[in-house]
Structure 1
């Protein structure tokens, strides 16, 4: 806005103060021509600045360092354990979250124990989700 007003003011002043032979000699006509010129110059300036402001690139998203995940699970008899290195049912299936930079999963099962290990995201269907511990 400030630049547009400045351009208008300078063009209006220049149209009246500078001695151009092709401008009318009558002061009223000279003001009219200077005002028209200043209006066109300010409009072109405002349009160019508006276009430029819309095309300025946004800041890139912040870089998230990879996480470190270390998990240990033991399942005995009829128990079960689930280890997930990423998100479980969050975010929505298909969107995926970044996998951890360091993932260590250790599991021990005995008897009828059951262990599920997933290195990334685990997106279960609603029925499967209810059956998990």
Structure 2
């Protein structure tokens, strides 16, 4: 099972456990806010358990989704955003990957998305490379 699939499995399992734990807790412990009638107690306990499970499910879904967006374990799917402005005789070089001889380049997979914006005026120069740059 991959990292992202494992995160989703943990998230779904956590929401499931929280639901049943909260349902049991609301039925086993006598809280003053629970109604007296048995059917009403089950309804309130179910609503309470559902709300707690939804909160845990939302947090774990956010956590599980980060694996696919460059969070922990998702480095190969990162996003690079670079912006540059050059005036006069300035020179700007943007490299999304690593710089150096071919033998020293990073071994990480290529990025999924690179966004580079540049504006040059006068005699300025801007160089952009979406991946690794070798001399």
TM-score normalised by length of structure 1: 0.46
Structure having the larger proportion of residues in helix = 2
TM-score normalised by length of structure 2: 0.46
Which structure would you say has the larger Rg?
1
